[in-house]
C-alpha cells in the first residue's frame, strides 16, 4: 500500500507485494546539508546552502527549505541568493562528507555484498541473497533507513523495484525520508503517469522534441509508434526510451566499475582573460589529473579540455594520443594545444576543466624512444615526496607565481 501527499511525494505505508523487487536504490537526503546540521542543529528548518561564497560560487547542496524557493544544486550562488535572500550559506566540509559516506556504505555492505555506489550519497543494492538473513526487500528497506538514522543521525530515501531504473525513480518520489515499493506487476501503472523527464536520458533538448510530438508523460512515450519515435530522436534513443517507458532495464547491480575518466575543473572568482593566467590554471589541473592517474595505476589515451566562457557558453575539445599516458606534462601539452585552437584575444573564461579518457589499467610500457621519460621520472619523484609530506610541497615553478589568479574551486558530487 502506498499513499501520495499533497506534493509529488509518494511512500509505502503498509503491506505490499515485494516478492519480485530485489533492487533497492538508497539515496541520502540533502546529504551535504544534513551532515552540516549534525553539528549545527540550530539551523534545522531553515534554508541552508552548501557551496562557494565568492562571486562565482556554485551551490553544491540545498536544504529542502531552500528548494522551495527554486534553489537547486549546480546553480550559481548569486542566483540562488536572489531566489532565497535569507538563505544561510556554509562553505562545506568534504572530509566529513566522505567519512559519513563511508559509514553509510559500510551499512549497505553489512546487508549484501551486491552494492553499486553511484556517488558519494547513493547506491544500488541487490538483496536477492539477503532475504534469508534479513527479510523481504521492504523489510530490508525499513531496516536500512532505521540503521542509517540511528548510527549516523542522517536520513535516507529508498526505492524498491524489479529494476534499477524503476527503483531510482521510486526513491526520488519518496523524498525526503521515505520509502516506496513498486510491485513488479504495478511497474507500468507507476511509470506511465509520470512526466517524460522521469526517463533517463531525457534532457531539455530531447524533452522539447518529444513535446513537439505531443508527448507529455511516460505513458505517451510507451504508446508512441516506434518509427515515429525514431524519426524524432533516432533509432538508439527510441529503443532506449521505449524500453524504459515499459520499465524494462536489464542492467544488474555491478559491485566494481572501472573509472571511465579522471578529471578536475575549477570555477574562478573572476573571469580569466590573460592567456598566461589561463595556462597556469591549465597546468595546475593537468598536474592533478596526472597525479590521480598515477595513484590509480591508470593511463589515459584522450585528453579533453572544457571551457566555460563568461556568458556561460561551454565547449569541449579532445585530442587522442598515439600512446596512453599518465604524465601531467603530456596532458598539459595536449590541453594547451586544444586551447590554442579556440582561445581568442579578449575571451573571458569562467571555468576550465581537464579530463583524461580512454583509461587503461595495464602497466605502461614506454616505446623504445620515450619523449616523456624525463618528465615521467620527475613526476614520480614528486609523487614520492607527496606520499610522505603531502601534495603541494613540490610543484611546477609556474604555479608558485600569481597566486591571486588561483580560482575558488568546489567539488560537486551529485546531490538529490
Concatenate the DSSP letters of all residues of 191-240 into one string.
Answer: HTTSBGGGSTT--HHHHHHHHHTT--BHHHHHHS-HHHHHHHHHHHHHHH
Cell triple for 266: 575549477
Distance CA 360, CA 365 (A): 12
Distance CA 415, CA 120 (A): 9
Q: What pLDDT does residue 136 have?
A: 96
Contacts of 388 (CB under 8 A, 6+ apart): none
pTM for the structure as a whole:
0.69
Q: Which residues are annotated as a binding site?
A: 27, 121
CATH class as words, domain 27-161+172-181: alpha beta
Residue 43: HSE in the Cβ half-sphere, 13 Å Cα cutoff: 22
CATH fold for the domain made of 192-245: DNA polymerase; domain 1 (1.10.150)
What single DSSP character describes residue 81?
H
Q: What pLDDT does residue 322 have?
A: 77
SS3 category, 99: helix
CA distances from 307 to 221, 343, 359 (A): 35, 9, 22
Distance CA 184, CA 18 (A): 8
Spell out the domain ranges in the chain. 27-161+172-181, 192-245, 261-405
Q: What pLDDT does residue 64 have?
A: 95
Count of CB atoms within 10 A of residue 102's CB?
10
Cα-only R_g, the chain = 24
One digit per residue, the tens of pLDDT, for the chain of length 416 reads 555 554 578 999 889 999 999 999 999 999 999 999 999 999 999 999 998 776 667 898 999 999 999 998 888 888 999 999 999 999 888 889 999 999 999 999 999 999 999 888 999 999 999 999 999 999 999 999 999 999 999 999 999 999 999 999 999 999 999 999 999 999 999 999 999 999 987 888 888 889 999 999 999 999 999 998 988 888 888 899 999 999 999 999 988 666 678 999 998 888 999 999 999 999 999 999 998 888 888 888 899 999 999 988 899 998 888 788 889 999 999 999 999 989 999 999 999 999 999 887 644 444 444 456 666 666 666 666 555 545 454 455 555 454 444 444 443 333 33
Cell triple for 411: 567539488
CATH number of 261-405: 3.30.1490.100
Q: What pLDDT does residue 55 have?
A: 60
The owner of cell 516478492 is 19
Task: Name the residues annotated as catalytic.
Answer: 122
Count of CB atoms within 10 A of residue 277's CB?
18
Q: What pLDDT does residue 392 have?
A: 53
Q: Which residues are annotated as a binding site for Mg(2+)?
A: 27, 121
Distance CA 73, CA 309 (A): 20
Residues 377-386 as b/e (b if ≥16 CB within 10 A, e otherwise) read eebeebeeeb
Q: What pLDDT does residue 237 have?
A: 86
Cell triple for 11: 511512500
Amino acid at each position: 500500500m502506498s499513499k501520495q501527499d499533497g506534493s509529488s511525494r509518494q511512500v509505502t505505508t503498509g503491506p505490499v507485494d515485494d516478492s519480485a523487487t530485489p533492487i533497492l536504490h538508497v539515496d541520502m537526503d540533502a546529504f551535504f546539508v544534513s551532515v552540516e546540521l549534525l553539528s549545527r542543529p540550530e539551523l534545522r528548518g531553515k534554508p541552508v546552502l552548501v557551496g562557494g561564497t565568492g562571486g562565482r560560487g556554485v551551490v553544491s547542496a540545498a536544504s529542502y527549505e531552500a528548494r522551495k524557493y527554486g534553489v537547486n544544486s549546480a546553480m550559481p550562488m548569486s542566483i540562488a541568493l536572489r531566489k532565497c535572500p535569507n538563505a544561510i550559506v556554509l562553505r562545506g566540509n568534504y572530509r566529513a562528507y566522505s567519512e559519513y559516506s563511508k559509514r553509510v556504505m559500510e551499512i549497505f555492505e553489512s546487508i549484501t555484498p551486491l552494492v553499486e555506489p553511484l556517488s558519494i550519497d547513493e547506491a544500488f543494492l541487490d538483496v536477492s541473497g539477503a532475504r534469508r538473513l534479513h527479510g523481504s526487500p521492504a523489510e530490508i528497506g525499513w531496516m536500512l533507513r532505521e540503521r542509517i538514522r540511528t548510527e549516523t543521525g542522517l536520513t535516507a530515501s529508498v526505492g524498491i523495484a524489479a529494476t534499477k531504473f524503476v527503483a531510482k525513480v521510486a526513491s526520488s518520489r519518496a523524498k525526503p525520508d521515505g520509502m516506496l515499493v513498486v510491485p513488479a506487476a504495478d511497474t507500468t501503472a507507476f511509470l506511465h503517469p509520470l512526466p517524460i523527464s522521469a526517463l533517463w536520458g531525457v534532457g531539455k533538448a530531447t524533452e522539447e522534441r518529444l513535446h513537439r510530438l505531443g508527448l507529455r508523460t511516460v505513458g505517451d512515450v510507451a504508446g508512441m509508434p516506434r518509427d515515429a519515435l525514431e524519426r524524432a530522436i533516432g533509432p538508439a534513443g527510441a529503443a532506449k526510451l521505449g524500453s524504459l517507458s515499459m520499465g524494462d532495464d536489464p542492467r544488474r547491480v555491478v559491485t566494481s566499475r572501472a573509472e571511465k575518466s579522471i578529471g578536475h575543473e575549477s570555477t574562478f572568482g573572476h573571469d580569466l582573460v590573460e592567456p598566461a593566467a589561463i595556462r597556469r590554471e591549465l597546468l595546475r589541473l593537468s598536474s592533478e589529473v596526472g597525479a590521480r592517474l598515477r595513484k590509480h595505476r591508470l593511463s589515459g589515451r584522450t585528453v579533453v579540455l572544457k571551457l566555460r566562457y563568461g556568458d556561460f557558453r561551454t565547449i569541449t575539445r579532445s585530442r587522442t594520443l598515439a600512446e596512453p599516458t599518465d604524465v601531467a606534462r603530456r596532458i598539459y601539452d595536449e590541453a594547451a594545444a586544444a586551447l590554442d585552437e579556440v582561445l581568442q584575444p579578449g575571451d573571458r573564461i569562467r571555468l576550465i576543466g581537464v579530463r583524461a579518457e580512454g583509461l587503461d589499467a595495464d602497466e605502461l610500457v614506454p616505446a623504445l624512444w620515450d619523449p616523456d621519460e624525463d618528465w615521467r621520472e620527475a613526476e614520480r619523484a614528486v609523487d614520492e615526496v607527496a606520499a610522505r609530506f603531502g601534495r603541494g610541497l613540490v610543484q611546477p615553478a609556474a604555479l608558485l607565481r600569481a597566486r591571486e589568479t588561483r580560482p575558488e574551486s568546489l567539488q560537486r558530487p551529485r546531490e538529490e
